[in-house]
């Protein structure tokens, strides 16, 4: 699809903002445990799949290069803002502005884990999707990239953030939570976001073509 430079810049700016918003929300929600049918997970499992949906749409419409630009521009702002907000609202409770004056290693580990897991998961997602996006069946590329990208992202995040963590509950249950988290992400992605991907792709292509 041939797009004007202004349309491409607008699309990239919107995607960068969307990625930062989802990362911040997920880093906060991952601190909130959830018991799902007797299994331990977190609320973050329901928000993070939005990033893979956005990334796959970016690669499909704009290409692999712009998708990597999104990641490069998102990493540092998302890390800084995630740390600040997670310190202010640690474990779902507002801690007051005074909390920022104290160095919080627990939240820092979550922010750094999110940083490294995001980069790893998104680069793998982009690579796999780009290799498969020329196939006639449009659903193969987002399915394969989502399965592998989410797997690497999830276990990189939980191992970095919670292995021998200061939080006893997360330190004890992080492997179980990671598996349940991955299962929830995959279920949400394949049952909800994959059909949504097809709908959004058609709608976005029509909009961009009119503006091109």
Alpha-carbon dihedral angle through residues 32, 53, 127, 17, given to the nearest 10 degrees: -80
Check pLDDT > 90 for residue 188: no
Average confidence score pLDDT of the chain: 82
Do residues 109 and 69 lie in contact, with contact meaning Cβ atoms separated by under 8 Å? no
Check pLDDT > 90 for residue 30: no
Q: Residues of the chain with pLDDT > 90: what percent?
A: 8
Question: What pLDDT score does 2 carry?
Answer: 58
Check pLDDT > 80 for residue 206: no
Check pLDDT > 80 for residue 212: no
CATH code for residues 3-209: 1.10.1760
Question: What pLDDT score does 203 carry?
Answer: 76
Residue 104 confidence class, pLDDT cut points 50, 70, 90? confident
Task: Taking residues 35-42, report their average pLDDT.
Answer: 78
Do residues 68 and 18 lie in contact, with contact meaning Cβ atoms separated by under 8 Å? no
Check pLDDT > 90 for residue 70: no
pLDDT per position as a tens digit, 113-158? 888 888 898 899 888 988 898 888 878 888 898 899 989 999 999 9
CA distances from 163 to 2, 160, 174, 209 (A): 47, 6, 7, 48
Closest CA to 71 of 114, 31, 110: 114
Domain ranges for the chain: 3-209
Question: What pLDDT score does 28 carry?
Answer: 78
Report the distance separating Cα 110 and Cα 149, nearest Å.
19
Question: What pLDDT score does 3 carry?
Answer: 62
Task: Taking residues 58-77, report their average pLDDT.
Answer: 83
How much is the pTM? 0.76
pLDDT per position as a tens digit, 154-185? 999 999 988 988 888 888 888 988 998 899 88
> Worst-scoring range by mean pLDDT, 89-103, 171-185, 194-208?
194-208
Residue 208 confidence class, pLDDT cut points 50, 70, 90? low
CA distances from 157 to 10, 30, 112, 178, 198 (A): 30, 10, 9, 9, 28
Task: Taking residues 83-98, report their average pLDDT.
Answer: 80
Check pLDDT > 60 for residue 1: no
- Collapsing DSSP states into helix, strand and coil, what is residue 35? strand
């Amino acid at each position: 699809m041939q797009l004007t430079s202004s349309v491409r810049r607008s699309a990239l700016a919107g995607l960068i903002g969307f990625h930062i918003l989802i990362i911040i929300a997920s880093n906060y929600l991952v601190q909130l445990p959830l018991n799902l049918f007797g299994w331990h997970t977190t609320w973050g499992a329901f928000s993070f799949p939005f990033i893979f949906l956005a990334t796959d749409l970016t690669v499909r419409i704009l290409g692999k290069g712009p998708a990597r630009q999104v990641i490069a521009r998102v990493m540092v702002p998302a890390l800084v803002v995630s740390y600040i907000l997670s310190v202010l609202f640690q474990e779902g409770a507002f801690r007051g502005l005074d909390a920022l004056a104290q160095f919080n290693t627990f939240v820092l580990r979550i922010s750094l884990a999110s940083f490294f897991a995001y980069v790893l998961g998104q680069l793998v997602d982009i690579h796999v999707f780009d290799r498969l996006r020329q196939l006639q069946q449009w659903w193969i590329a987002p399915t394969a990239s989502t399965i592998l990208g989410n797997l690497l992202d999830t276990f990189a995040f939980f191992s970095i953030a919670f292995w021998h963590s200061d939080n006893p509950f997360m330190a004890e249950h992080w492997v179980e939570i990671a598996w349940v988290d991955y299962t929830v992400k995959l279920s949400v992605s394949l049952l909800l976001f994959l059909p949504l991907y097809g709908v959004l792709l058609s709608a976005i292509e029509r909009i961009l073509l009119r503006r091109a």
